Structure 1
Amino acid sequence: MHQSFPGQYQHIVKHLAAQPGNRVVFLSHENQNRLDGVERIDYLPYRAPHPSTHHYVREAEQAVIFGQSVYELCLRLKRDGFRPDIMIGHNGWGETLFLKDVWPDVPLLAYFEFFYRFQGADVTFDPASPVTLNDAPRVRAKNLVNLLGLDAADWGQTPTRWQWSLYPEVARPRISVIHEGIDTTAVRPDPQAWIRLDDKNIVLSARDEVITYVARNLEPYRGFHIFMRALPEILRRRPKAHVLIVGGDEVSYGPAAPDGRTFRQIMLGEVGRSLDMSRVHFLGRVPYSIFVSVLQVSSAHVYLTYPFVLSWSFLEAMAAGCLLIGSATAPVQEVLKDRENGLLVDFFDTAALAGRIDEAFDHPDRMQALRDQARRTAVETYDLATVTLPRHLALIDDLIAGRTPQP
């Protein structure tokens, strides 16, 4: 179960569906994604949360509605004779809440992505987003589904140790830390890589000075505003550098930009006159092959994030052998060690960010060791085929066999 098929389950579902004798059924909202060998069943929530529902619990009402829709669909599957060996699903939207009421004796493995905290995580991190009197109780109430899901599941899985640490201490012994994994054979260094910017008739390769920034959407949670404020000084110091920015103009996390604008429009309004726009290239969302090429031509890859969920793109950049310049925030620091496999910088310090990029360009030989170690980190700790998929499969086997997994 995942409302955005296949979500975090792409790799595990592909593997399970390819094994002879397996039947894989996936419950989701409608979208265009399909995978060979997977029976896709879409569910449609019967209504939206009521406008009069208290705003602290509107998300919880929506989760119950999603859970009820999945529950009724699973009852039909059960009446048709279907009984799974294991149930796996993302806890965050309520889809897993009532599965054990359909198949009480079937193990449920739930994905626990984020336990909300008013202090020590994303909410109070950025002074530019001041908190209100309603935020503390609102954030506490956001964990209603988390807590119900912890009780409903037999076991949990989360991708990083920092995300695991946010969950209540009593819950952690039943949550395994297993990342979804990175295909390090598909994402790897390529000194011959190049990318063409057709609209400007520019071709960039690893021989050029290329600064890269990637996010699903260009927004504060991923430090887009900080990166943009650093760009005038970065471009002043590096007169030959080009900047490739990948990401959409929607909002994945946090509040939307004011007045119907995008964060890109806001930041260009703030610093655009100070930028040489012939060297700043907004690529939008790109096909995966182009994304990989962006990483492969990168001379310095900037990754900034609030204390929040770690992006796949950060680990893919390591697999591509990028010179990582990451924010010194908890999820990044779990993986990136300063001057061992990348460079750390204070999230808010634009001058320090410009200085680190200068350092990266001025000492390419010294930086190569960091690039090599970044690649080694991705392969040894997050490789899909040799590390994460075997651990995930072992966890599933333990639960099906009735064994207590090692957390």
Structure 2
Amino acid sequence: MNILFIHQNFPGQFKHLAAVLASRGHRVTALTLRVKDRTTWKGVDVLPYGIARRTEQKMHPWVLDLDSKVTRAESCYLAARELRDQGYRPDIIIAHHGWGESLFLKDVWPDARLGLYCELYHLTDHPHMGFDPEFPMKDPELEKLRIRMKNINNHLHFDMAHAGISPTRFQADTFPQPFRDRITVVHDGIDTDTLRPDPEAEFGLADGRRLSRADEVVTFVNRNLEPYRGYHVFMRALPRLLRERPNAQVLIVGGDGVSYGARPPQGTTWKQVFIDEVRGRIPDSDWNRVHFLGRIPYDQFISLLQVSRVHLYLTYPFVLSWSLFEAMSCEAAIVASGTPPVQEAVEHDRTARLVDFFDGDALVDQAIDLLEDAESRKRLGAAARAQIFETYDLRRICLPRQLAWVDMLGQRPM
């Protein structure tokens, strides 16, 4: 089959699926903003499309999101039309439609079957909206209207898509009927062969020190350090954790940007906002044990998880991070927020310890308890890896189900 992937940051969530489809003899092509020139990646023909500059135009702020999606969609449409005129005809289009890129592709290839990666439908009820009282909306009633506008892109895609795939039940269940019935829940998959415990693992710090399983390492990982992922709760818990665990080394992974939610005050970052808030309560000797690593190469990230004695994970009711599953696969002892997406993946005191998202003292209590209890760490870590192996393993579970979904998509009538 001719299979076309659409993702502005390809391969993104398709990194395993696209590669294995190419290895099985399918002609796999991708359109993306990520590259500037045509290239080949693991057998996939990766083609760039560019966004033309536009003159400034005034518009209502609620439609800015839709405008950016239509801009991408138009640019992707033009690249697709050029492919069509060169004779290319996809049997299947698989798109992460969240950025709008695939909005007009059925106009180019009306006979192609379209499958959507369904990351999230924006809901306006609690806890999806108004979860964190520290960051209240100026006008909740107006905010509901704005969020409803964000779903226009979803609804425009529903009428032309044949099927969807979503990595968790929590994410799939945000989508409304009847499209929810067309969504198959299959996780992106965790490579348990690579993400595995290693008693000999070491992680190097910038000052030349090497941390190992013999050290008391506490880890916290976000793509970006921001409230949606509980960074503020973690930072406020940090002074007590450092005070009560004088040998702990705290390793923090994450960028300075914003992936989700509101931006920080102009001229600063959420990372710095909460450093400034707590720094005065942390002596220099304790602060020297806090290591902000930024974003690190993946091999170093794996080593970090392998030396972690306790891994902390917090999130709003939102898309679940890969890092939680990756830590579980490495047999990390995890303390996590008991929010709905986390509760789908772990069970309290079987595969992790769960605490209220806002309860920093409970976070520290559970972390200290696990730091002092090697037997519980071993039990939770082993159960966490078993859960990943049985439910989210890339090669045994997820890829076969993803391939079955692609086969179904290729056969399914509208």
TM-score calculated relative to the size of structure 1: 0.95
Deviation at 1:198, TM superposition (A): 3.0
Q: Distance in 1 between matches of 2:278 and 2:229?
A: 18
Q: Distance in 2 between matches of 1:282 and 1:106?
A: 47
Deviations 1:334-359 (A, max 9, x none): 11100010100111101101100111
Aligned to 2:154: 146
Deviations 1:22-71 (A, max 9, x none): 22110010348962322111112234585412111111122122112222
Question: What runs of 5+ residues in structure 2 fail to find an aligned partner?
Answer: 1-5
Contact 2:162–2:413 (8 Å) recurs in 1 = no
Q: Is 1:398 matched up with 2:408?
A: yes
Contact 1:49–1:62 (8 Å) recurs in 2 = no
Aligned to 1:330: 340
Q: Is 1:277 matched up with 2:313?
A: no
Q: Distance in 1 between matches of 2:129 and 2:55?
A: 24
The counterpart of 1:53, out of the listed 43, 59, 81, is: 59
Aligned to 2:3: none
The counterpart of 1:296, out of the listed 306, 322, 340, is: 306
Judging changes above 3 Å, is the alpha-carbon distance between structure 1 residues 122 and 34 closer, same or farther for their aligned structure 2 residues? farther
Q: Is 1:156 matched up with 2:164?
A: yes
Aligned to 2:34: 30
Judging changes above 3 Å, is the alpha-carbon distance between structure 1 residues 363 and 48 closer, same or farther for their aligned structure 2 residues? farther
Deviations 1:195-253 (A, max 9, x none): 12132x32211111110000111111110111000011111111111100011111111
Contact 1:246–1:282 (8 Å) recurs in 2 = yes
Deviation at 1:14, TM superposition (A): 1.2
Letter in 1 for 2:198: D
Deviation at 1:328, TM superposition (A): 0.8
The counterpart of 1:112, out of the listed 115, 118, 121, is: 118
Deviation at 1:268, TM superposition (A): 1.3
Contact 1:49–1:61 (8 Å) recurs in 2 = no
2:254 alignment partner, SS class = strand
Aligned to 1:194: 202
The residue correspondences of 1:228-243 to structure 2 (distance < 5 A) are 228-243=235-250
Q: Is 1:183 matched up with 2:186?
A: no
Q: Is 1:250 matched up with 2:257?
A: yes
Aligned to 2:7: 2
Deviations 1:132-190 (A, max 9, x none): 22311111110000111111211111110001111113221011111111111000011
Aligned to 1:206: 213
Bigger mean CA deviation after superposition, 360-369 or 333-342:
360-369
Bigger mean CA deviation after superposition, 72-81 or 229-238:
72-81
Letter in 2 for 1:44: G
**How well do the aligned residues superpose, as a CA RMSD in angstroms?**
1.6
The counterpart of 1:227, out of the listed 228, 234, 237, is: 234
Bigger mean CA deviation after superposition, 71-80 or 301-310:
71-80
Q: Is 1:68 matched up with 2:74?
A: yes
Letter in 1 for 2:83: L
Give aligned pairs, total: 402
Deviations 1:277-303 (A, max 9, x none): 111111111000110011000111000
Aligned to 1:260: 267
Letter in 1 for 2:266: D
1:213 alignment partner, SS class = strand
Contact 2:91–2:111 (8 Å) recurs in 1 = no
Letter in 1 for 2:368: D
2:172 alignment partner, SS class = helix
